[in-house]
Amino acid sequence: MYPESLVFLTCPDHPKVRLSLDAGACYAVDGAILRGWLRCAVCGVRYPIHDGILDLLGRLTLPDSPAQLTNHMSLTAWGYERIWRAHALTLLAGEPLGYRRELPLIAGLAAPDRGGLFIDVACSNGLYARVIERARGGAVGQTIGVDHSLPMLRQARAFALGRGLRISYVRAKAQALPVLAGCAAGMMMGGSLNEIGDADTALAELRRTLAPGGRCVMMGLVQARSGRGRALQGALGAGGVVFWPLAELNRRLTAAGLRLRAQWQYGVVVFSVLVAYDDRPRGHFFGAGQALPAAIPADIPHNHASQEF
């Protein structure tokens, strides 16, 4: 993690209290804090930074489901992007939806060139975090990736370093984001809500963390329409992966205080842009007739737009 993230990072048990760095930390040449301790001034608990990653969970964190357990394995972390991720959306959507289409969409919707803090929640190998950090351009800001799996975060940091990207990685639960309320210009969540455990609390955390005028960009999977798709999803359900119908997903988003501004569906894959419910309107970033951000390549089929809000 990098020192500039310290202005946002809070104690998991005291979300209004910023963590402070103990003396004696060890730094890398790029300024990353490689080893050290962060301390909460209220409860006095110290959290370690090792190999450049802040760990707010410690050793005794048990995964909630078999799906979560899989993500804690080093082999899964190694193969997630190398083997699965690039093909995942195409397989799930039933149409070409590779990185060439997905990643400009995410960058265009999140618009990191607005500057500020961007957080990739349940980031795995940090794909969206890297996309955002790269698309920031000259804008002032920073990117933080959060996941509860240490092997995933180690791989994420290795990928970011290999590409010369300055991204802070933090081990924490999506249900207790260790960041100040209202501080994020952008939150991204890619495919994680389906397996996150307590989804409503995780959504409430996204809402708490969004700054006024901030956007949350979410890619998720909804219930399949075909019998075969539903059977497969039913089997995954036993492992702790949940697939709601689109209306149920949207009901939960609203209940968490997130207002849907735009949504596109490709098979079971749904991209949503959300703002805080009580945020005052700030121009038309997705107005009628101008539904897609400029960054989307021309070959994105616009007829997939299911709803715009």
Ligand X SMILES: C[S@@+](CC[C@H](N)C(=O)[O-])C[C@H]1O[C@@H](n2cnc3c(N)ncnc32)[C@H](O)[C@@H]1O
Closest C-alpha to 55, from 26, 12, 112, 100: 12
The CB-of-233 to ligand X minimum distance in angstroms stands at: 14
Binding of residue 157 to ligand X (CB under 6 A): no
Q: Which of 174, 187, 218, 269 binds ligand X (CB under 6 A)?
A: 174
Binding of residue 173 to ligand X (CB under 6 A): yes
State the number of binding residues for ligand X (CB under 6 A).
Answer: 21
SS3 of 264, please?
strand
Binding of residue 153 to ligand X (CB under 6 A): no
Binding of residue 208 to ligand X (CB under 6 A): no
Q: Which of 1, 11, 111, 195 binds ligand X (CB under 6 A)?
A: 195
The neighbour count for residue 32, using CB atoms within 10 Å, is: 21
Q: Which of 97, 107, 150, 152 binds ligand X (CB under 6 A)?
A: 152
Q: Which of 90, 142, 143, 149 binds ligand X (CB under 6 A)?
A: 149
* Angle in degrees, CA 101, 177, 115, rounded to 5: 50
Q: How far is CA 229 from CA 190, 219, 233, 271, in A?
A: 20, 18, 6, 19
In angstroms, how far is CA 76 from the centroid of its own chain? 18
Closest C-alpha to 177, from 213, 214, 147: 147
Q: Which of 53, 56, 117, 122 binds ligand X (CB under 6 A)?
A: 122
Q: Which of 36, 197, 240, 267 binds ligand X (CB under 6 A)?
A: 197
Name every residue whose Cβ is closer than 8 Å to that of residue 31 and which is 6 or more positions away in sequence: 2, 3
Residue 251 — φ and ψ, nearest 5°? -60, -40
Residue 21 token pair: 């760095």
Q: Which of 33, 38, 53, 68 binds ligand X (CB under 6 A)?
A: 68
Strand 184-190 with 141-147, pairing: unpaired
Span near ligand X by CB under 6 A; candidates 15-23, 48-56, 145-153, 274-282:
145-153
Binding of residue 196 to ligand X (CB under 6 A): yes
The CB-of-192 to ligand X minimum distance in angstroms stands at: 4
> Cα(223)–Cα(229) distance, rounded to whole angstroms?
8
The CB-of-83 to ligand X minimum distance in angstroms stands at: 12
Span near ligand X by CB under 6 A; candidates 52-60, 172-180, 259-267, 284-292:
172-180
Q: Which of 5, 90, 124, 233 binds ligand X (CB under 6 A)?
A: 124
256: left (phi over 0), alpha (psi -120 to 50) or beta: alpha
> Cα(40)–Cα(115) distance, rounded to whole angstroms?
28
Binding of residue 123 to ligand X (CB under 6 A): yes
Binding of residue 54 to ligand X (CB under 6 A): no
For binding to ligand X (CB under 6 A), which residues are involved?
68, 71, 85, 122-124, 127-128, 147-149, 152, 173-175, 190-192, 195-197
